[in-house]
Structure 1
Amino acid sequence: MLSQDINKAFRNRLNQGGAILMPGAANALAARVIADLGFEALYISGAGVTNTYLGMPDHGFISLPQLVDHTMAIRNTTDLPILVDADTGFGNAVNVHHTVRMLEAAGASAIQLEDQVNPKKCGHFTGKEVVDLDEARSRIKAAADARQDENFLIVARTDARATRGFNEAIDRAAAFIEDGADITFVEAPQSVAEMKDIPARLPQAPQLLNLVVGGKTPILDLAELDTAGFSLVLYANVALQGALMGMQTALGQLKEQGRMDEDGPVAGFALRQASVNKAHYDALEEKYSTKN
């Protein structure tokens, strides 16, 4: 499916209403699993890519070329809409313009930009700082101007809740909507009351809520968040955290017992091959074989 068709379908789905449960993928294998399980959209987590690809914390270490490569690989595996976490846009407004062009060309359906200083930190870490509002707004204006497809979505995130209070975070999100953001994202609300206040005070655009397992925001059921008015409910790194737990369990058993077979805490060989669509490539090999 062409990216423009995916983007249009994603915008139409958002316009229909009803919260979309969106997991994060740190790599193409996770994206395949997400698609196979029937989710409607996926998120490329900057934290997830940094953790899995570099083995480092979410302190702004990922580069634009690395993020573009991951986006291209994931787009090659699925027709799901892809929202890409582009952190602060890798520089000033001019850099943001370039970032949008690169990620849209790589197959993203939407891009997320935030108002932290560069280099940023995970939204649920302490010690975050945000830039002045004028600079933050310039990023969103540049992103809106840069997109080639009118259905490519701009998601504007604010981390101001942590340093300047909840009300300023809401005010920033409202300003970003004026600047061309299609969706806004108030990061790390710290109570159920704050969570439910976000869509009530920002009815001008769809709202994204990020639920981090072990983070600062309370975990609520999808149905309750749908009723509250959220359009996207993000679990950015559940796949990563599940994989990490699985690796710890399987490798711990291997170290302890000195052997591992399919009766262990691992996916079987057949499931592994099915998860990477090996049958499709076997069929291609047969189709193009010179031995036929």
Structure 2
Amino acid sequence: MATPAEKQDAAQDAAPALTLAQRLRRPGIVVAPGCHDALGARIYEQAGFEAVYMTGNGLSASLLGAPDIGLLGMNEMVGRGRAFANAVKVPVIADADTGYGNLNNVVRTVQDYEAAGVQAIHLEDQVTPKKCGAMKGLALISKEEHADKIRIAVATRKSRDFLIIGRSDARIPLGLDEAIARGQAYAAAGADLVLLEMLQSEDEMRKAIAAIDAPLMFNAVDGKTPPLTASRFEALGFRVLSFPISATLAYTHMMRSFAQHIRATGSAFGAPAGAVTIAEYEAVLGIDGYL
């Protein structure tokens, strides 16, 4: 017979998770750590996170073994977004790059991501093909053109619970003032949240939050942005926080160490980083829920 605590856990597992839109109507920051596969999404959900973030950078690495320079197409990204959404109950926030082209492409991008079960996408104001926002040599479209993309994205969605995040990569190539001006334009165009990549200090963050009439999301990137905690980001006023490529960096470190261990010892067992058991692995995958 199940204990009261087990019954409570089962009831919580059966209850639907809040949509991201519903959660953002409540106080507190939403931490949505990034990963590049559905296994990572399940692990984050089981660790208690309220949302997960699908990283385009990590997907380019995991699917192609290539850098994030616009090589993945919309269908590849949407397909992985569907896999994430099917694997977890919590909301999935997805990288949608530039919308994969002009306004017509943005319409299809929104339609397909929403149909896939993703709950939010961010559209960035780089030219197509784009680069990772942490790379040098970024080229941007005008804020007017990207504001049009935001407007058409908002008009295309079927549900207001599918959130459009207006992202600007202007901070590094064009400076803070231009990044804030673009954030203001995207908020005015109807973006549900605004994401300014690569803000370089708490002072810059405070200025952006004070100037933009929309909730702000922050992408914390290892070695590229200030190493603040979730509680500090919340105190500054951010509503959503992601660590977009941290898991992929950790995976790369682990795999290099693991490869070196096999090469040195001739065995896959006893790796320095350790490993879960087969039973633990199957439990993460929810094997007992299958026929």
TM superposition score normalised by structure 2: 0.91
SS in structure 1 at match of 2:19: helix
Instruction: Pick the aligned partner of 1:128 from 138, 142, 153.
Output: 138
Show the counterpart of 2:4: none
Counterpart residue number, 2:107? 97
Q: Where does structure 2 lack aligned partners over 5 or more consecutive residues?
A: 1-15
Return closer, same or farther for 1:210/1:148 CA change in 2, 3 Å cut-off: same
Query: Structure 2: which amino acid aligns with 1:238?
Result: S
Deviating 4+ runs (over 6 angstroms)? none
1:275 alignment partner AA: V
1:229 aligns with 2:237: yes
The one-letter amino acid of 2:110's match is V
Does 1:9 find its partner at 2:19?
yes
2:284 to 275, 279, 288: 275
Provide the rounded CA distance (Å) in 2 between the counterparts of 1:233 and 1:166.
Answer: 20
- Contact 1:262-1:268 at 8 Å conserved across structures: no
Q: 1:160 aligns with which of 164, 167, 170?
A: 170
Equivalent residues of 1:20, 1:40 under 8 A apart: yes
| Aligned equivalent of 1:198 | 208
Separation in structure 2 between the aligned mates of residue 164 and residue 259 of structure 1, nearest angstrom: 51
In structure 2, distance between residues paired with 1:213 and 1:21: 16
User: Higher mean Cα deviation, 167-176 or 188-197?
Assistant: 188-197
1:40 — aligned with what?
A: 50
Q: Partners in 2 of 1:248 and 1:277 — Cα distance?
A: 28
Query: What's the secondary structure of 2:33's corresponding residue?
Result: strand
In structure 2, the residue matched to 1:287 is none
Q: Which residue in the other structure is 1:211 paired with?
A: 220
What is the alpha-carbon distance in structure 2 between the residues aligned to residue 240 and residue 277 of structure 1? 23
Between the aligned partners of 1:162 and 1:247, the Cα distance in structure 2 is 31
**112-121 or 263-272, which deviates more:** 263-272
Question: Secondary structure, in 3 states, of the residue corresponding to 1:100?
Answer: helix
| Secondary structure, counterpart of 2:53 in structure 1 | strand
Q: Superposition pairs for residues 137-152 of structure 1, below 5 Å? A: 137-152=147-162
1:245 to 237, 247, 253: 253
Mapped to 2, the partners of 1:238 and 1:28 lie a distance apart of 16
Q: 1:70 to 1:78 in 2, by over 3 A?
A: same
- Whether the aligned pair in 2 keeps the contact of 1:250 and 1:266 (CA below 8 Å) is no
Letter in 2 for 1:201: A
Whole-angstrom distance in 1 between the partners of 2:271 and 2:96: 40
Q: Distance in 2 between matches of 1:175 and 1:137?
A: 6
Q: Counterpart of 1:16 in 2: which secondary structure?
A: coil
Residue in structure 2 matched with residue 88 of structure 1 by the alignment: 98
Give identity over the alignment, percent.
Answer: 35
1:27 aligns with 2:27: no
Q: Is the 8 A contact 1:18 1:231 kept in 2?
A: yes
Q: What TM-score, normalized by structure 1, do the two folds share?
A: 0.90
Tell whether 2:83 aligns with 1:73.
Answer: yes
| Cα deviation, residue 71, structure 1 | 1.1
How far the C-alpha of 1:96 sits from its partner, in A, is 0.3
Q: Distance in 2 between matches of 1:175 and 1:23?
A: 27
- Kindly indicate whether the alpha-carbon contact (under 8 Å) linking 1:31 and 1:78 is maintained by their aligned counterparts in 2: yes
Q: Is the CA contact (8 Å cut-off) linking 2:258 and 2:271 kept in structure 1?
A: no
**Any idea what SS the aligned residue of 1:48 has?**
helix
Amino acid at match of 1:205: A
Structure 1: how far apart are the matches of 2:228 and 2:100? 33
Letter of the 1:12 counterpart = Q
RMSD over aligned Cα atoms:
1.4
Using the TM superposition, give the Cα deviation of residue 263 of structure 1 relative to its aligned residue in structure 2, in angstroms: 6.7
Q: CA deviation at 1:162?
A: 1.6
Deviations 1:97-137 (A, max 9, x none): 11000000001101110100111111111100110122111
Matched residues in 2 for 1:81 and 1:12: separation? 10
Shift of 1:248: 1.4
